[in-house]
Amino acid sequence: MKTVNTILLGTLIAVTLACGYSKPSGSGAGSMPAIATLNPTSAHAGDPTFMLTVNGSNFASKATVNWNSVAQTTTYVTAGQLTISVPASAVATATTVQITVTNPATSSGGIYGGGTPAQTSAAMPFAIN
């Protein structure tokens, strides 16, 4: 009986170690997007609709450009470039707007959860003169 108990205990220990806990792989933060330049760098009040190009780094394929914190329909060009169409109504009066880029949250899909939260870049001002 002692031999059977020893074998069962050894098996139980081996199974427990084989099924040990490991840290979820998606627990770290995602890459923070960063804006380097805007093109054009400014607009004139009353200008017609135009394309704004946002150059930078770490842009996710589903990143969005925000115009004064409002997400815009964004075209992903590369991990370093995004574009949006700015309507004439957005530049009707002189002001300064803040441009940011947000990478969406992701989920790891694993049983431990994980993933990354949404990450938003520092703001870059865009002057409407």
Torsion sign over Cα 69, 73, 83, 96: negative
Tokens 């949006």 sit on residue = 84
Structural domain contains residue 121: yes
Query: How high is the pLDDT of residue 78?
Result: 98
CATH of the domain at 70: 2.60.40.10
Query: How high is the pLDDT of residue 14?
Result: 58
Q: What is the mean pLDDT of each run of 10 residues along the chain (129 residues)?
A: 64 55 41 96 97 98 97 98 98 98 85 82 98
Judge contact between 49 and 10, C-beta under 8 A: no
Q: How many domains does the chain have?
A: 1
Structural domain contains residue 52: yes
